Chain A
Amino acid sequence: MDFGFSQEQELLRATARKFLENECTSGFVRARMEEPAGVTVEFWAKLAEQGWLGLIYPEEHGGSGLGFVDLTVLMEEMGRVVMPGPFFSTVLLGGLAIREAGSAAQKKEWLTRIASGKAKTALAWTEPSARWDAAGVTCAARESKDGFVLNGTKLFVLDAHLADVLVVVARTSEGRTPEEGTSLLLVPKGTRGVEVKLLPTMDQTRKLCEVSFKDAAVPADALMGAKGGAWPALSRVVERATVALCAEMCGGAQRVLDMTTDYAKIRIAFGKPIGTYQGVKHKAADMLVDVENAKSLTYYAAWAVDENAPEAALAASMAKAYVTDAYRKVAGAGIQLHGGIGFTWEHDLHLYFKRAKSSEFTFGDATYHRERVAQLINL
């Protein structure tokens, strides 16, 4: 047993930290918050150059063929700088859905282009009902003689406005279970009848969209995987994306803890650094416990999905439930210990506090995942 990162992984961490500290500064993040793109052409090209856009894709499709433990290291570093832009939506949602469900031709077409930075994707899954389970999929894909016709509304779709192709979760039939009849369709940018509306968000580093389909027609080869049988692949996607999100959250929480302890060492009140006082010390210690536990569960989940371990679903839900609460608490405590300055727009803490909140509701909140844990342990 070895429950730690390898030298190669530590090297990836060091490279990522250096790169992101230089390229993804607070000034960069704030500029991207103000504009729809969330990323610059140059920055995206550099991510491709580092090989990170194809990190988890097969080598035959221009990727590096690495796993989720490797990715964990990178996600922690991205979370550390609240990296904006469509990395998550492209690599871990749309792209991963193509990796899990796409045909050889679909993978060849899209994964290669994603890995080289030439295409962006997004995954249109949730709807106004805001459900992550199969019963929440009502957007209809009616079979026509040339393919499928889509009608319905998708909500909370990350970076749909930037995607060259949308992977849409749609219902092609009513089955005996909600899972039956769900299908995945590739909908290219500019398809008639598709309207993408960028929504104002609390966390401006995450761009959420409403995507509505009004008799939007796609050809028969837009279908990914078996008609009506998308759910197993989607479960794998969401499980893996959840683990990656947890890693990103761990990185953010660690950074908040670092900022807070640094500040507690230099901020003087009543003639002493505030870190001298137990009221501050004990809160900081609680933050550390939350961060370390969050990492333990996340690393375990990353290992479990890499190994396709039978407990992978349980591991992912345990991690998401814990990390969600931990990041929210740590980010809140960070603001509290900074006092007034932590509440300002100028200080970076609010970026983390808001990211903690948007991440909380992505792929299900803690309550949702605790219930899943209860089911998976046969309670």
Chain B
Amino acid sequence: MDLSLTPEQEAFRATVRSWLKTNIPREWKPTGSSELPRAEQYEFLRRWQRTLFDAGFIGLTWPKEYGGAGLTFMEELILQQEMALAKAPPILNVLGVGMGGPTIIAWGNEEQKKRYPAKILSCEEIWCQGYSEPNSGSDLASLQTRAVKDGEHWVINGQKVWTSFAHVADYMMLLARTDPSVPKHKGITYFLLDMKLPGVTVKPLRQITGEAEFNEVFFDNVRVHESQVLGGVNNGWAVGLTTLMYERLTLGFGLQMRLRIALDSLIDLTKRMEKSGRALTKDPVMRQKLAQLWIDTECLKYTGARAITKLLRGEMPGPEASTGKMAWVDTHQRLQELAMEIEGPYSQLWKGSEWAVEGGVWSQSFLRSRANSIEGGTTEIQKNIIAERLLGLPKD
């Protein structure tokens, strides 16, 4: 066991640190929010991701020939830690970088691997994820969107929902049913869908925060060329699971980073607030709650380090990779609840009020955090997966 870095890794850390110091745009004001980018930030974040790409600080673990840097998860971890310390802006194409790209690299043919990953990293093409449907959420394999073969094309009909970024996305990771006659997991195919194809309609869905961050997507006889199938016809469930595994693992580093930024901001906020005439940091209950959040946030880092160690040793990560999302969700929702408690009555005020603390960002991110335990697999589904796959408890 050795948590120290090699001289090369130390040098990499120094390079990242000094690069971030000079390259984070001055107009960037970290809000303490740990959520997905907001609409008004899109153009700024698109440029920021391009800057990261040009400097080679994104897609570190992806192969060089597909636009990555060919480095290990260790460098990825160092990068994420430095981004957290520098309170760097998040990346915009988070689903493409976290899930789409790695899945294409894992399952794609040479043509697909040359065509897509680099543009995901540079943010030239933004990706969204077409998994959930109105009647298929947790029971994802029951999805009903149909793809019927017609010559060289597949004709798609159906609907997706809760699709983040669909309104700005160029491509979608689409799961559709290609064979209804076989058991539900076996008749699904993974498509790389061009969102500009005729018959694709995106309708924004207004959510709890009042914003429309995600969407409904309708497919009306959308004709997709067969070359856009990823990983083989009727093999979509296996391909889709890869995406989910990456979502839980690599996205996890980024989540830990955002959590740490949010916690540091929350502690700064606590130091400025008073309750009943005394500094809030003197309140023993508040100290207990903040210390617990600190412990839980640090813990995610070390659990992540255990998973990376397994990867670096060429082993498959075990329990330590699967518990990350659940632990993150629980910690983050508690953090957001605590932000409301710290603000007290001020948490009721919304952006637009000059009385709102920090422009009301915490109230907004508090509401947004309710989605954490639903998106990317509900907490209940995560628990089923852990119980069945890791603990070996019987399926129903």
Chain B interface SS verdict (over half): helix
Whether the pair B320, A371 counts as a contact (CB closer than 8 A) is no
| CB interface residues, B 276-322, toward A, < 8 Å | 281, 284, 287-288, 290-292, 294-296, 298-299, 302-303, 305-306, 308-310, 312-313, 319-320
Which residue of the partner chain, among B288, B313, B327, B382, contacts A367 with CB atoms under 8 Å? B288
Cβ of A252 < 8 Å from any Cβ of B?
no
Whether the pair A264, B393 counts as a contact (CB closer than 8 A) is yes
Cβ of B26 < 8 Å from any Cβ of A?
no
Cβ of A2 < 8 Å from any Cβ of B?
yes
CA distance A370 to B302 in the complex (A): 18
Cβ of B74 < 8 Å from any Cβ of A?
yes
Whether the pair A280, B281 counts as a contact (CB closer than 8 A) is no
Stretch touching chain A among B2-10, B52-60, B124-132, B206-214: B2-10
Whether the pair B393, A3 counts as a contact (CB closer than 8 A) is no
Q: Which residues of A contact B380 (CB under 8 A)?
A: 278, 282
Whether the pair A2, B2 counts as a contact (CB closer than 8 A) is yes
Whether the pair B391, A370 counts as a contact (CB closer than 8 A) is no
Cβ of B390 < 8 Å from any Cβ of A?
yes
Q: Which residues of B contact A300 (CB under 8 A)?
A: 3, 302
Which residue of the partner chain, among B3, B287, B327, contacts A303 with CB atoms under 8 Å? B3
Q: Which residues of B contact A302 (CB under 8 A)?
A: 1
Closest B residue, CB atoms, query A264: B393
Cβ of A1 < 8 Å from any Cβ of B?
yes
Whether the pair A297, B74 counts as a contact (CB closer than 8 A) is no
CB distance from A379 to the nearest CB of B (A): 6
CA distance A377 to B270 in the complex (A): 13
Closest B residue, CB atoms, query A291: B319
CA distance A371 to B4 in the complex (A): 28
CA distance A4 to B302 in the complex (A): 11
Which residue of the partner chain, among A276, A307, A318, contacts B394 with CB atoms under 8 Å? A276
Q: Which residues of B contact A272 (CB under 8 A)?
A: 394
Which residue of the partner chain, among A297, A307, A379, contacts B287 with CB atoms under 8 Å? A379
A58-75 interface bits toward B, Cβ cutoff 8 Å, 1 = contact, 0 = none: 000000000001000000
CA distance A371 to B283 in the complex (A): 11
Cβ of B392 < 8 Å from any Cβ of A?
yes
Which residue of the partner chain, among B267, B298, B313, B323, contacts A379 with CB atoms under 8 Å? B267
Knowing A4-B306, A297-B298, say if A321 contacts B2 (CB, 8 Å).
no
Q: Which residues of A contact B327 (CB under 8 A)?
A: 289, 293
Q: Which residues of B contact A156 (CB under 8 A)?
A: none
Q: Which residues of A contact B1 (CB under 8 A)?
A: 2-6, 9, 69, 299, 302-303
Cβ of B135 < 8 Å from any Cβ of A?
no
Closest A residue, CB atoms, query B302: A296
Whether the pair A321, B291 counts as a contact (CB closer than 8 A) is yes
| CB interface residues, A 317-338, toward B, < 8 Å | 318, 321-322
CB distance from A311 to the nearest CB of B (A): 10
Q: Which residues of B contact A264 (CB under 8 A)?
A: 393
Cβ of A21 < 8 Å from any Cβ of B?
no
Whether the pair B395, A297 counts as a contact (CB closer than 8 A) is no
Whether the pair A288, B287 counts as a contact (CB closer than 8 A) is no
Whether the pair B393, A261 counts as a contact (CB closer than 8 A) is yes
CB distance from B169 to the nearest CB of A (A): 33
CA distance A261 to B323 in the complex (A): 17
Whether the pair B295, A373 counts as a contact (CB closer than 8 A) is yes
Q: Which residues of A contact B323 (CB under 8 A)?
A: 288-289, 292-293
Q: Which residues of B contact A282 (CB under 8 A)?
A: 380, 383-384, 387
CB distance from B186 to the nearest CB of A (A): 23
Whether the pair A4, B303 counts as a contact (CB closer than 8 A) is no
- Which of A286, A289, A318, A371 is the most central at the interface, judged by chain B CB atoms within 10 Å of its CB? A289
Whether the pair A276, B4 counts as a contact (CB closer than 8 A) is no
CB distance from B255 to the nearest CB of A (A): 15
CB distance from A104 to the nearest CB of B (A): 30
CA distance A6 to B309 in the complex (A): 12
Whether the pair A377, B294 counts as a contact (CB closer than 8 A) is yes
Cβ of B110 < 8 Å from any Cβ of A?
no
User: Interface on A for B, CB 8 Å cutoff?
Assistant: 1-6, 9, 69, 257, 261, 264-265, 272-273, 275-276, 278, 280-282, 284-286, 288-289, 292-293, 295-297, 299-300, 302-303, 307, 318, 321-322, 367, 370-371, 373-374, 377, 379
Between-chain CB contacts (< 8 Å), 14 pairs: A1-B2, A1-B308, A3-B308, A4-B313, A275-B391, A280-B387, A282-B387, A285-B326, A293-B323, A297-B298, A371-B287, A371-B288, A379-B287, A379-B291
List 5 extra interface pairs beyond A265-B394, A282-B380, A285-B326, CB under 8 A: A6-B1, A286-B383, A293-B327, A303-B2, A371-B291
